Structure 1
């Protein structure tokens, strides 16, 4: 859990937030050799009756210990402590989306915490990581275990970067080979039937959500979009860097089908697609997806994410669009795709999307 928003004090690097039991919780913030440190340095109700001045002195003491190489954090590099520091780093750096960070936190709570929490990270061995992976493979798919090991490797790379350890124990872990490619499951006629079912679906809320997904957007991008990211005058919308995989703001032109839906939504405050019950963010669209597939007569196993595959397949194979245009429409984020995307203008991508829509409407 991240540190709440702090109230500043007159002492440099000292802020606080209020806790019902501990009173003011003082946080010391300082930077050494480019590394940002943030540490709880005392509570209003602790044995020292810490105030702003005492908090400042404690902060300076911790800072001095680190400079001298005698900080206790150098001696007790427990996995649980460095992991929390790592997650705070990711949140502050905005390197990962909120969803990605929450996934890492969930993986930690379920899989890492019971095994590694109280281990010194400098003592964790390659053999221990291999055993961890082997045990996970007993109940989890190889792709999931690969993700767990990859996240561990990124964590240990963070520790190496700040000279907490010298080697990454999560490197060269043996995992079974697997084919992660999934063949697009629908025929052309089935694709057209599903496409037109979405455009004409009787539930207005979900017609809007799934028409937006047909623009090539990912589910969380659509569910997290708010009205300040929509420009109806210019007929464009922006997926902010916090929500997309490109880690930068991505602006797209909206087609007529999407524009007609958005212009007719009465409540243009907050989330574009609101939960009918809470009026907040719409969280679950799986049941609506089942209803749409049933209406379209689609019995094959097909995930919501595969609407992107439907669009990509149509762009490349039926609408005769280039890989560059397809990458631009889908907002793909590999280095190769990103390089291509930069060369494709918004209106060219929008034209490609129109051709795909025109083909699927036939």
Structure 2
């Protein structure tokens, strides 16, 4: 009975600390009790290059080798440590002592995606693109194990069933997710998407509204102030619809005819300009609004949404401009985004310098704006006429 009592008491004793070996680097011993007898457990540690922490640095890995009662000694623990490190340095995954990475230790691509979505306040459209196309294959993978070859094979297979523009959008989403963690969270790896070329596309919207079509549209929607104002703001600023519906009264500068616009793609703001007649209309339209109220609010005090605007405007656009066109005819169908294309196209037609068009559209790269250069009246014809004379 006395022996049993002593064993019970031993269970409540705190574990003894690990003692560092004076003879061998990274080798430790710990006094323990095995079946009521004093024993020694041996360990070693090392920095595991195959298992990186959230900053991309090797984790300190502890390995339990065995007990003295099992024939293990400091020398044996040291030999196993050296063998482990040799395997690791030769580029092999460490399996000698069956190291199993716990799920909580793996930095999954899903974690990188969630950081990106939260920090950048990404639109539901882009989140949906990730959840549908990327997450099923890469979401649960260790981000350090995703290779360029895997990404290329994924995009190639995906291109067999999706349009080039959609494939490019998926590629850009993966690239952005990796770049965000590399820049903001010190992720120590090369973006596997770097060097993978975009697919050539031939479905950029070419349709823009003529002056006569703009007048027709404004006349048709003139009975609905909200829709009329939506169309005017889109056509006068060239902003994306997401930016337009987020304009608040405090963003309007009636004195200078300027509106502050939020670019949700870059999480920044820029200035748009309003013609005098629209400024006067807005003064009256927003006179009873509070500064934080949304100009295009459908319900007082509530933020407008794209579906609410689209539901009201799409049938009108289809009736006026999309008769007899296929539903997937991206080049020729008039949609809400056509207003942005119309804004840029008419600027170019009126001779606005391409760099000014870039600034007004808030394009980060001039390449995005150069598509409108061909519409400029000084597109080169006059210069060719004057050659060799």
Name the TM-score, length of structure 1 as normaliser.
0.60
Match of 1:290 in 2: 314
Match of 1:268 in 2: 289
Tell me, yes or no, if the aligned pair for 1:80 and 1:113 is still in contact at 8 Å.
yes
Tell me, yes or no, if the aligned pair for 1:124 and 1:169 is still in contact at 8 Å.
yes
CA–CA separation in structure 1 for the residues paired with 2:272 and 2:305: 22
3-state DSSP class of the match of 2:60? coil
Match of 1:78 in 2: 108
Task: Report the CA distance between 1:223 and its aligned residue.
Answer: 0.3
CA–CA separation in structure 2 for the residues paired with 1:306 and 1:244: 18
Q: Are 2:356 and 1:307 equivalent residues in the alignment?
A: no
3-state DSSP class of the match of 2:171? helix
> Taking structure 1 as reference, are residues 209 and 158 closer, same or farther at Cα in structure 2, changes over 3 Å only?
closer
2:177 to 144, 155, 161: 155
3-state DSSP class of the match of 1:289? helix
> Taking structure 1 as reference, are residues 176 and 253 closer, same or farther at Cα in structure 2, changes over 3 Å only?
closer
3-state DSSP class of the match of 1:264? helix
Match of 1:250 in 2: 270
2:261 to 239, 249, 257: 239
CA–CA separation in structure 2 for the residues paired with 1:145 and 1:329: 28
Tell me, yes or no, if the aligned pair for 1:143 and 1:178 is still in contact at 8 Å.
yes
CA–CA separation in structure 1 for the residues paired with 2:162 and 2:339: 26
Q: Are 2:131 and 1:141 equivalent residues in the alignment?
A: no
CA–CA separation in structure 2 for the residues paired with 1:323 and 1:226: 29
Counterpart mapping for 1:195-206 below 5 A? 195-198=215-218, 201-206=222-227
**Structure 2: gaps (5+ residues):** 1-52, 62-101, 324-331, 370-389
Tell me, yes or no, if the aligned pair for 2:147 and 2:192 is still in contact at 8 Å.
yes
Task: Report the CA distance between 1:244 and its aligned residue.
Answer: 5.0
How many residue pairs were aligned? Answer: 261
> Taking structure 1 as reference, are residues 202 and 298 closer, same or farther at Cα in structure 2, changes over 3 Å only?
farther
> Taking structure 1 as reference, are residues 132 and 277 closer, same or farther at Cα in structure 2, changes over 3 Å only?
farther
Task: Report the CA distance between 1:196 and its aligned residue.
Answer: 4.7
Match of 1:218 in 2: 240
Q: Are 2:353 and 1:322 equivalent residues in the alignment?
A: yes
Match of 1:259 in 2: 279
Tell me, yes or no, if the aligned pair for 2:318 and 2:334 is still in contact at 8 Å.
no
Q: Between 253-262 and 156-165, report the one with greater CA deviation.
A: 156-165
CA–CA separation in structure 1 for the residues paired with 2:56 and 2:172: 30
> Taking structure 1 as reference, are residues 281 and 331 closer, same or farther at Cα in structure 2, changes over 3 Å only?
same
Q: Between 212-221 and 165-174, report the one with greater CA deviation.
A: 165-174
1:123 to 145, 156, 175: 145
Task: Report the CA distance between 1:206 and its aligned residue.
Answer: 0.5
Q: Are 2:213 and 1:193 equivalent residues in the alignment?
A: yes
Task: Report the CA distance between 1:256 and its aligned residue.
Answer: 2.2
CA–CA separation in structure 2 for the residues paired with 1:74 and 1:164: 17
> Taking structure 1 as reference, are residues 320 and 196 closer, same or farther at Cα in structure 2, changes over 3 Å only?
farther
Deviations 1:298-350 (A, max 9, x none): 64611211212222222222x33332443344343325799xxxxxxxxxxxx
> Taking structure 1 as reference, are residues 83 and 134 closer, same or farther at Cα in structure 2, changes over 3 Å only?
same
Q: Quick check: which has more Rg, 1 or 2?
A: 2
> Taking structure 1 as reference, are residues 218 and 119 closer, same or farther at Cα in structure 2, changes over 3 Å only?
closer
Name the TM-score, length of structure 2 as normaliser.
0.56
> Taking structure 1 as reference, are residues 201 and 111 closer, same or farther at Cα in structure 2, changes over 3 Å only?
same
Tell me, yes or no, if the aligned pair for 1:235 and 1:253 is still in contact at 8 Å.
yes
CA–CA separation in structure 1 for the residues paired with 2:358 and 2:198: 31
> Taking structure 1 as reference, are residues 126 and 255 closer, same or farther at Cα in structure 2, changes over 3 Å only?
same
